[in-house]
Amino acid sequence: MKVFVLNCGSSSVKYQLFDMDNESVMAKGLVERIGSDDAILTHRPEGRQPVKQIGPILDHTTAISKVLTVLTHQEHGVIRDVSEIGAVGHRVVHGGEAFTGSVLITDEVKKALRDCIDLAPLHNPPNLTGIAAAEELMPGVPQVAVFDTAFHSTMPRRAFLYPVPYVLYQRHKVRRYGFHGTSHRYVAGRASEILGRPLEDLKIISCHLGNGASIAAIKGGKSIDTSMGFTPLEGLMMGTRSGDVDPGVILFVMDREQLTLVEANAMLNKHSGLVGLSGLSSDMREIEAGMAQGNPRAEDAFDVYEYRIRKYIGAYAAAMNGVDVIIFTAGIGENSPLLRQRVCEGISFLGVRIDPAKNDVRGKEADISAERSAVRVLVVPTNEELVIARDTMEIVSSRGAREHAATEARA
């Protein structure tokens, strides 16, 4: 079966087409600047030159329609006809408390997703627009929603409740949800395969360090805590997001600087984190370059970033009463030996030892622990799209099997 994976943002659509017979990527790409006259479609057919098209793309339906055109293009395409696509898998950011796993998209599911809009006002509307566009362009093709939050639905109440008036949870569902669940689930599964040990036996701490960053405590294959909370702003310091700060700081600054809600939101989400502290960049490569030139604010930014990861690792080792595996993933986790080295140096009390030669790796799966390390330390490139494609395939196939069984029973 060919599965088309879509990740629709407010002005972008990322896609991958999988051949699930061998889990290979046939093509992937990105439409950026949707809503403008100079939107950019970059299409990468596997093993061939990428193609770039620039022109007006005013909405998501047009964007996905252009993607389907290029996927079936005589020269750049990888399939003859759209009808070869057996199913569509959508990344959906927020499933609220309603969704604890991936689901086939039905009218009821769409209604429940609309009910979650309040919880993710920036993310869920474009996800819903993408679903509507795909339904319009590929009528009858089953569609599946895979949620960023679902993997963390196993968190116990002590991990997801905030110590604020309980009525806020009852009235507005104010609680911790967690994000990046698809990534944490994938890398934990890979860790179990790499180490040849069942997930059920492992206590894993996975560090997803991209532009957004979160860390998860995964015990016996289940997320029992994670650093992002009600929104993806809580937890680790990130490229442009603050992560944990004293809530009192926000109230104080809003008062002193006379900030509106919108301005305070921008301060914490766009102007904080690596870029806020360094004044240089949200890109870890530029922070590391700044450190190499002796820039003290770049050093501060790196130190705070690293220290906070280390504190969370300590906390999650306590949450699980131990740790067997630490995983580094996403842009920074996969590509920064320096960050991994600094984090691991500071947690040697847990029995963590890495091998400097093995740690000299970028963007590849590797066990970077030293022989004598009590904790395995792994680099695992994440693959959220593959998880979405697998879930989609599984749900659609089991639905097919159920329908077949029902038809047989009727016959």
> What single string gives the DSSP state of each residue in 338-367?
HHHHHHHHTTGGGT--B-HHHH---SS-EE
Which of residues 48, 114, 285, 404 is near ligand ADP by CB under 6 A? 285
Which of residues 127, 149, 240, 335 is near ligand ADP by CB under 6 A? 335
**Chain residues 369-398 in contact with ligand ADP, contact rule CB under 6 A:** none
User: Which of 33-41, 144-152, 195-203, 283-291 is the region at the interface with ligand ADP (rule: CB under 6 A)?
Assistant: 283-291
Q: Is 273 in the site for ligand ADP (CB under 6 A)?
A: no
Which of residues 278, 336, 373, 392 is near ligand ADP by CB under 6 A? 336
> What single string gives the DSSP state of each residue in 12-48?
-EEEEEEETTTTEEEEEEEEESTTEEEEEEEEEETTS
Q: Is 232 in the site for ligand ADP (CB under 6 A)?
A: no
Q: Kindly report the number of other CB atoms within 10 A of residue 42's CB atom.
A: 15
Q: Is 130 in the site for ligand ADP (CB under 6 A)?
A: no
Q: Is 276 in the site for ligand ADP (CB under 6 A)?
A: no
Which residue's CB atom is positioned nearest to ligand ADP?
Answer: 331
Map residue 139 onto helix, strand or coil. Answer: coil
Q: Is 331 in the site for ligand ADP (CB under 6 A)?
A: yes
Percent helix, strand, coil in the chain, to 5, is 45, 20, 35
In the set 19, 148, 360, 391, the catalytic residue is: 148
CA distance 312 to 322: 13
Please name every residue paired with 204 in a beta bridge, in sequence order, or none if there are none.
218, 325
Q: Is 332 in the site for ligand ADP (CB under 6 A)?
A: yes
How buried is residue 150: exposed, middle or buried, by Cβ count under 10 Å (0-12/13-18/19+)?
buried
Residues 127, 93 contacting (CB under 8 angstroms): yes
User: Which of 119-127, 164-172, 279-287, 289-297 is the region at the interface with ligand ADP (rule: CB under 6 A)?
Assistant: 279-287
Please name every residue paired with 376 in a beta bridge, in sequence order, or none if there are none.
325
Q: Is 402 in the site for ligand ADP (CB under 6 A)?
A: no
Give the Cα-Cα-Cα angle 146, 193, 308 (nearest 5 degrees). Answer: 70
Active site annotation includes 148 = yes
For the chain, give the number of residues.
411
User: Which of 146-154, 210-218, 315-323, 343-351 is the region at the interface with ligand ADP (rule: CB under 6 A)?
Assistant: 210-218
**Chain residues 55-84 in contact with ligand ADP, contact rule CB under 6 A:** none
Q: Is 238 in the site for ligand ADP (CB under 6 A)?
A: no
Please name every residue paired with 209 in a beta bridge, in sequence order, or none if there are none.
213
Nearer to ligand ADP, 60 or 180 (CB): 180
Find the shortest distance in angstroms from Cβ 48 to ligand ADP.
23
Instruction: Fill in the per-residue mask, 168 to 207: x = in contact with ligand ADP (CB under 6 A), - = not in contact.
Output: ----------------------------------------
Q: How many chain residues touch ligand ADP (CB under 6 A)?
A: 14
Cβ-Cβ contacts under 8 Å for 11 (sequence gap 6 or more): 32, 33, 34, 35, 36
Q: Kindly report the number of other CB atoms within 10 A of residue 171's CB atom.
A: 9
Find the shortest distance in angstroms from Cβ 117 to ligand ADP.
23
User: Which of 4-12, 137-145, 256-264, 277-285 is the region at the interface with ligand ADP (rule: CB under 6 A)?
Assistant: 277-285
What amino acid positions are annotated as catalytic residues?
A: 148
Binding residues vs ligand ADP (CB under 6 A): 210-212, 239, 283-285, 288, 330-332, 335-336, 362
